[in-house]
Chain A
Amino acid sequence: MDGEGPAARTIPAKQPAPKIKSFACLQCGMPVTLRGMLQTSSVVCAGCGTVIDVTDENLQIIGAFLSKIKVEPAIPLGTRGQLRDGTFEVIGFMRRVIEVEGVGYRWREYLLFNPYKGFRWLSEYNGHWNYIRTSLYRPLLVSGGAHFKGLAFRHFQSAVAKVDYVVGEFYWRVQVGESCLVQDFIAPPQILSMEQTDKEITWSLGEYVEPDVIAKAFNLKKPLPARIGVGANQPSPHVSRLSVLLKRTLVFMAVAVLIQLLSLIGSQNKLVYQQSFDYDVRDSEKSRVSELFELPGRTSNVVIRTKADVRNNWLYLNMALINDETGTAYDFGREIDYYFGRDSDGSWTEGKPSDEAAILHVPPGRYYFRVEPDGPAPAHYSVAVYRDVPQWLAFFLALIALTLIPVIAFWRSRSFEYQRWSESDHPSTSISDMVHKVSDSGDDD
């Protein structure tokens, strides 16, 4: 069983506990109330910070107040709140600090008590809250993480944490300055924490809680600290979105492939005119027109494929597809150039001796083709006109458009994970690393 009380910590041997509920502080005389009934072992006076041993009938002073500052808990001591497994009362508050490269990072912990359920913890760092239960089970430590109850946790951070402020009751003799090694492992929205001192190792399992839930549970009037950045085990809102987007993208892509296949099968792709010509620069009339030909079917495209026997030369073709009935001309020009040779880097080529151009939305009807060549040397060239030719450009553009939003979603998710891990001992540097972390970050919403 997890978190059924102080059992996870070193609990003093059972001894006759003083049957008191409140007393005057031995140092300053301020009333001190005991809320943890017989379960607490020390209490820190809110007035002067003196630590008093409540397991001793004579209420001995354990330590004096070491901190000169007073920290106001976001949830006042004595506040009761309805949490997921019962009503709990805040009986203790402490602030802990770790130092990394000379910078102190502080978080706050609230000890909760319910006489039937035992103890729970709430921790808050940068406005991110966790509901924590101590565990009697020892997780299996593996390289880079830990396994616990079938879940794989990744190592997040290890540091020596010190208590720098404490007030209220605790089930061990807590004092300012008390330190332990803390190791955090995450599997969002869960966090597994190990606290190690010379005498004991304590494991606890926490779950991310939205600040609104905390405020509502304790009916808090004051706003809770604003969230900053991404919490260590904060569930990523992007993971589930990304998963749905990917599934829908695959469906859309499958439909696009189907449309393209139907287009390939259903298009006429019909050769309606083909002719070869000779060009000579000395010709007085270079223009040529074709016989009339029929463009069948519905309004569709026409593709003109040209070839010329140019070698290290060029040929410019001015072409027009003219509707004999309406007098509408589709006029365009194309250049065929083809150069090749060999140099110190080997053989090279530039251009090619063939070309392709498309005319869109050409209605059916009787047409003829006019071509007027221009070039520096005689050439033999051919023109082939195809009707209703399937195209690939729209297909590839559709695929690119469909992947656009999932790619943006992925980068947002990556950015979220980057922020999460930037606070850890393993800040991410590579995309593959991030992809791994994004896929591991869980999908619990």
Chain B
Amino acid sequence: MHRLFSLFGLLVLGSFGYATYTGWTWASYDEIKNVPKSIRNNPGIYRSVYTRYPHK
């Protein structure tokens, strides 16, 4: 029981340490590859997926 709890505690601390290092928080977004560079010259040509996340 105590060993299991120690293992669990270390697992939690390890996960927390990793999450802290990477700046993890609750987030939701779409990652889109190969967006054309021309968007900077003509922003209107890019139409995103309009993901509404944590939408109030």
Contact = CB atoms under 8 A, between A and B. Distances in A.
A259 B16 contact: yes
Interface residues of B, number: 44
Contact of B23 (A244, A370, A390): A390
A289 B39 contact: yes
A285 B43 contact: yes
A287 B46 contact: yes
Interface stretch (A41-49, A74-82, A137-145, A248-256): A248-256
A328 B43 contact: no
A245 B2 contact: yes
A372 B51 CA distance: 13
Interface stretch (A155-163, A358-366, A433-441): A358-366
A300 interface: yes
A401 B13 CA distance: 10
A255 B13 contact: yes
Contacts of B55: 333-335
Contacts of A301: 22-25, 27
Nearest to B28: A332
A320 B46 contact: yes
A322 interface: yes
Contact of A330 (B20, B29, B39): B29
A398 B15 contact: yes
* B29, B32, B34, B56 interface centre (most CB from chain A within 10 Å): B29
Given A241-B1, A370-B39, A333 B23 contact: no
A364 to B, nearest CB: 13
Contacts of B51: 331-333
Contact of A395 (B16, B26, B40, B53): B16
Contacts of B17: 259
Interface string A369-409: 01010000000000000001111011101100110010000
A240 B20 CA distance: 33
Contact of B37 (A267, A300, A327, A405): A327
B43 A372 contact: yes
A322 B30 CA distance: 12
A260 interface: yes
A288 interface: yes
B36 A327 contact: yes
A351 B56 contact: yes
Interface in A290-324: 299-301, 316, 318, 320, 322, 324
B13 A300 contact: no
Nearest 9 interchain pairs by C-beta: A301-B23, A287-B43, A394-B19, A398-B16, A332-B29, A391-B25, A252-B9, A329-B35, A329-B32
Interface of B: 1-2, 5-6, 8-9, 12-13, 15-17, 19-37, 39-40, 43-44, 46, 48-56
21 contacts: A245-B5, A248-B2, A248-B6, A259-B17, A285-B43, A287-B44, A287-B46, A300-B22, A320-B48, A327-B33, A327-B35, A328-B34, A329-B33, A331-B29, A331-B51, A333-B50, A359-B29, A388-B23, A391-B20, A391-B24, A394-B24
